[in-house]
Structure 1
Amino acid sequence: MVFPRLHIITDSLDVVRGALGHGPVAIQVRVKTGDRDAYQLTVAALELCRAAGALCLVDDRVGVAIATGADGVHVGAEDLPVAAARRVLGPAAILGATCRDPASARAAVADGASYLGVGPVFATTTKAGLPPPIGPAGLAAVVDAVPGTPVIAIAGITAANAADLPGYGVAAISAIAADPAGSTAQFLRVLGVAA
């Protein structure tokens, strides 16, 4: 399977259902309540993703990813360190890491990250407490620092600005939520990977 250029981050099965079937995507299950809620949603999302041939990743929760048999996990700056997550997951699982500058990007790849989520690229209201946006230039600096590693831009990403971003792909949250099917298809067209 080719690593998807569009990552959809959600806590909604309706979004998962709407996003699948339009082309290659990765679904990242992000649940901010308890592990049990994350587990139940991931089990349901994984069933849909398997049927559609899509990747299913879990945000933050390594234990939930392992327990459900998800394809991998994405760890942020406040989560389990990348090297520790890689030890727990083993060599085959997909492991994403959040970073925002070339030094942290190189360190994450050295510690075993399969791909990087880089941002915030633009301002966003989806997540509170984020550092200032790095912009396309900051994103480009990270892309240049880790050749060969997929870099996924995150925060404030829309179909309108996705085509102008350097790197491998993009992650979307609020830009997908209102119209998952239509927005996913539009993103995939912009990224040049429509089914």
Structure 2
Amino acid sequence: MKRVLDTDIYALTDAGLSRGRSVIEVADAMLRAGIRVLQYREKERKAGVMLDECLQLRRMTREAGCTFIVNDHVDIALLVDADGVHVGQEDLPVEAVRQLVGPDRIIGLSTHSPEQCRDAIARGADYIGVGPIFATKTKKDVCAPVGLEYLDYVVQNHDIPHVAIGGIKLHNAGEVVRRGARCCALVSEIVGAEDIGDMVARLRRAMAV
């Protein structure tokens, strides 16, 4: 049975924001802090490097009981036996990804509007990204923030598992949870923290509203 977003924090990798630490080192700290969903999202890596890192992360996440998602790269997700893949609106459509990964792997799709949410459900996505909630500089090609109103729409109208993403930090994570988000994605706030374990603990306290 698929485990889809059975956690409060959805963590993503980003080597460029990791204070000079390796993806593996940062992931190890996140797993030791109890992260249960980890997405590998590295936009500037060569394919061979991504494969090597994902092979290591697959072993680590399996040992930790953590769901492992690969961003964009369906081929690498299959090669390392990841639990799933996350795609954007301009990537391969969900139906094509499903043909490649089969029925048992998780497919997540980024959405930015009610129309895209409804389309994701119709296409068979297992979960959706809802955002960017706030302005973010983590992604170079990010769209304008959609605000908490889109999160309100998803929470009030659909049962599909969803993760709120985009500009979520320690100071506003509680607000996002109060609006109904059960799972929040964070990048820079975690990978850029000097003490990752302490930051995860502080985030969880802030989100326990």
TM above 0.5: yes
| Cα drift, residue 63 of structure 1 | 0.8
CA contact (8 A) 1:101 1:141 kept: no
CA contact (8 A) 1:58 1:73 kept: yes
| Cα drift, residue 82 of structure 1 | 1.1
Q: Distance in 2 between matches of 1:3 and 1:110?
A: 22
Q: What residue number does 1:102 align with?
A: 114
Deviations 1:132-166 (A, max 9, x none): 1111112211333322x111111101122112113
2:73 matches 1:57: no
Q: What residue number does 1:89 align with?
A: 101
CA contact (8 A) 2:10 2:35 kept: no
Deviations 1:80-136 (A, max 9, x none): 111111121111101110001111112112212111111111011111232211111
2:6 matches 1:3: yes
Q: Distance in 2 between matches of 1:47 and 1:91?
A: 22
Q: What residue number does 1:116 align with?
A: 128
2:40 matches 1:29: yes
1:8 aligned partner, one-letter code: A
Q: What residue number does 1:171 align with?
A: 185
Aligned match for 1:131, one of 127, 130, 143? 143
> Under a length normalisation based on structure 2, what TM-score does the superposition of the two structures give?
0.85
Q: Distance in 1 between matches of 2:25 and 2:102?
A: 31
Q: Distance in 1 between matches of 2:138 and 2:114?
A: 24
Q: Which runs of 5+ in 1 are unaligned?
A: none
Q: Distance in 2 between matches of 1:192 and 1:52?
A: 23
Q: Distance in 1 between matches of 2:157 and 2:52?
A: 37
1:121 aligned partner, one-letter code: I
What fraction of aligned residue pairs are identical, expressed as a percent? 35
CA contact (8 A) 1:102 1:145 kept: no
Equivalent pairs, count: 192
Look up the SS of the partner of 2:184 in the other structure: strand
2:170 matches 1:182: no
2:166 matches 1:155: yes
| Cα drift, residue 24 of structure 1 | 4.6
Look up the SS of the partner of 1:159 in the other structure: coil
Q: Which runs of 5+ in 2 are unaligned?
A: 15-22
